Amino acid sequence: MSFRTDNWITGFDRALRIIAGVAMAERTSPGLSIEDVPMSEPDRRHSAGLMRVNHVGEVCAQALYQAQGQFARSTELTVQFAHAAREEEDHLAWTAERITQLGSHPSVLNPIWFAGAYVLGMVAARAGDAHSLGFVVETERQVEAHLSHHLDTLPVTDTRSRAIVLQMRDDEVSHGAAAQALGASSMPKPARLLMGLVSKVMTRTAYYL
């Protein structure tokens, strides 16, 4: 079996697991070592909404990396995207676990989020490896800003969620730097603005659904 065929089969299996809400973390969640402090009901709902948004972001990250890896023009980049997706799966598992602890549920629109992100990743990959890497850099930049905003708005008492988001932000910065080092090209301003607009729609919807 060729590397490409094997990659497609692995990718399909991963997509099914992600949409079904199955994720395995290699690293222990940063929140598990922190005492879960009781919160008021409004604070609990707010934390759950924010963590649901973060979980959707990780669902989209898996779709993007999978598409970009499958349509990359070099085997080296395909391997790099697979490695990054595996690291991001920790975030997927951590946020899913935290949502459950908060007595809530992942977004019911996860299949749609995954499909839309996959298409975006495919388009980015078709533009060429440098542009695909540039898409990663801009995505991680926006995710970093989004996570920083969550750190400002999470309830003070929700130290578990805060620890998770802090580690996620550090990892996203690292992924963006890795993509830049591999030869990412700068994205044009209209594309960056469009990405920001799509992100706003997703986050506002996922907070509730």
pLDDT tens by residue, 152-181: 999 999 999 999 999 999 999 988 998 898
**Domain with 128 in it:** 40-208
* Domain membership flag for residue 8: no
What percent of the chain is modeled with pLDDT above 70? 92
* Domain membership flag for residue 14: no
* Domain membership flag for residue 130: yes
Looking up residue 175, the CATH number of its domain turns out to be 1.20.1260.10
* Domain membership flag for residue 55: yes
* Domain membership flag for residue 123: yes
* Cα of 183 vs its chain's centroid, Å: 22
* Domain membership flag for residue 66: yes
Binned at pLDDT 50, 70 and 90, residue 27 comes out as very high
Between 99 and 11, whose confidence is greater?
99
R_g over Cα of the chain: 17
Binned at pLDDT 50, 70 and 90, residue 57 comes out as very high
* Domain membership flag for residue 116: yes
* Domain membership flag for residue 139: yes
Number of domains in the chain: 1
Distance CA 42, CA 28 (A): 28
pLDDT computed for residue 3 by the predictor: 46
pLDDT digits (tens, 9 = 90+) for 81-96: 888 888 889 999 999 9
pLDDT digits (tens, 9 = 90+) for 59-79: 999 999 889 888 888 888 888
Provide the sign of the torsion angle of the four alpha carbons 77, 131, 111, 9, taken in this order.
negative
